[in-house]
Amino acid sequence: MHAMRLIAPRTPLQLADVPRPTPRAGQVLAQVRACGVCRTDLHIVDGELPDPTLPIVPGHEVVATVLERGEGAERFEVGTRIGVPWLAWADETCAYCRRGQENLCVSARFTGYTVPGGYADFVTADDRFCVAIPPSYDDTEAAPLLCAGLIGYRALRAAGDARRVGLYGFGASAHLIAQVARYEGREVFAFTRPGDTATQAFARSLGAAWAGGSDTQPPEPLDAAVIFAPVGSLIPTALRAVDRGGTVVCAGIHMSEIPAFSYDLLWGERVVRSVANLTRQDAVEFMAIAPRVPVRAKVTTYPLADANRALDDLRRGALEGAAVLLPG
């Protein structure tokens, strides 16, 4: 099969012919139909996440069709369209798993990071961690739901019942979860790169009550802010924007260094918290609510062989919405 592989951090992916994988017990072999390009992929390629299993095939927003089932893999029939998300495996026995926090599992494996992902023609996956995809979504629209959507959903839930929600970094996750927030009757305040009027207009087209640069304050205090951009300096910025008792949720897996800030920004029972990975329950809940909204992804597609161009467009902030690779 064809696969785009990362051989060493901070180098371009290489297109290679590699053996088609064989499903082990509990796994399915699936033919990739589409694979989203996530900022986490970019962090892996750029060497910002430690110890990937190299060489690695990135990609964890995988829409695929089941071709074969290994022994004991019974959740999905052959021919079923499934999603393969970031969380590839958890031990189900550690203290975190036992209390419903499999996203924090000490032995967890991750698609496209520690096990091969979807920048390829075929992928194998533990069927217990695969996701049923609503039939109303085509392949390219479904792909970003599998991480941008799931992490955005988990981050929004971490914001509690906040009515005025700020979204810092209006990319793949924010443009999806803004739609859920509006569906739930929340007000959305979108923060973009300073001067990015095109993205601000895009945010307003999705129902944002206000959109402006991250260097400006919203017109009224926020109940919560979710930071999708991997920029540590946005934490004190967001703390200035939230009201007393407000929450700042850091939704990314990587963030640049957080600068020192004065205690008065945190005082007033403001909370700063992170969101780590996702759970299977997140997928069940989000895949149920997404068609009701309905959540619609703005997608730019690329051939699999152009994965480096897609990553570079993401790195430069040149995308509106999400990027999706198409094999074949």
287-308 pLDDT, tens digit per residue, is: 999 999 999 999 999 999 999 9
Would you say 186 and 164 are in contact if contact means Cβ atoms under 8 Å apart?
A: yes
Same domain, yes or no: 175 and 297:
no
Same domain, yes or no: 110 and 188:
no
254-268 pLDDT, tens digit per residue, is: 999 999 999 999 999
Tell me what the mean pLDDT of segment 144-151 comes to: 98
DSSP per-residue codes, 153-217: HHHHHHTTT-SEEEEES-SHHHHHHHHHHHHTT-EEEEEESTT-HHHHHHHHHTT-SEEEETTS-
| In the block, residue with structure tokens 């990071």 | 113
Q: Taking 90 as the threshold, does the pLDDT of residue 158 lie above it?
A: yes
Same domain, yes or no: 125 and 178:
no
Tell me what the mean pLDDT of segment 46-61 comes to: 97
Rounded Cα distance between 44 and 157, Å, is 26
Closest CA relative to residue 134, chosen from 322, 296, 291, 324? 291
C-alpha dist (Å) from residue 136 to 53, 118, 119, 141, 283: 35, 22, 24, 10, 16
Which band of pLDDT confidence, cut at 50, 70 and 90, is reported for residue 54? Answer: very high
Rounded Cα distance between 22 and 282, Å, is 28
Same domain, yes or no: 282 and 142:
yes
Q: Taking 90 as the threshold, does the pLDDT of residue 328 lie above it?
A: no
Same domain, yes or no: 299 and 210:
no
Same domain, yes or no: 263 and 282:
no
Rounded Cα distance between 117 and 85, Å, is 9
C-alpha dist (Å) from residue 318 to 89, 140, 198: 33, 19, 11
Rounded Cα distance between 26 and 137, Å, is 27
Same domain, yes or no: 227 and 298:
no
Rounded Cα distance between 317 and 265, Å, is 29
pTM, 2 dp? 0.96
Same domain, yes or no: 208 and 130:
no
Same domain, yes or no: 26 and 156:
no
Same domain, yes or no: 156 and 214:
yes
CATH number of the domain within which 78 lies = 3.90.180.10
170-221 pLDDT, tens digit per residue, is: 999 999 999 999 999 999 999 999 999 999 999 999 999 999 999 999 999 9
Same domain, yes or no: 169 and 254:
yes
- Structure confidence at residue 170 (pLDDT): 97
233-252 pLDDT, tens digit per residue, is: 999 999 999 999 999 999 99
Cα dihedral 11, 171, 255, 281 sign = negative
CATH number of the domain within which 185 lies = 3.40.50.720
Domain that includes residue 189, residue range: 150-274
Pull the structure tokens for residue 20: 């088609």
- Structure confidence at residue 255 (pLDDT): 96
Same domain, yes or no: 141 and 157:
no
Average pLDDT of the chain to the nearest whole number: 97
Q: Please give the DSSP secondary-structure letter assigned to residue 73.
A: -
The H-or-E segment that residue 301 falls in is: strand 299-303
- Domains contained in the chain, number: 2
Which band of pLDDT confidence, cut at 50, 70 and 90, is reported for residue 148? Answer: very high
- Structure confidence at residue 109 (pLDDT): 98
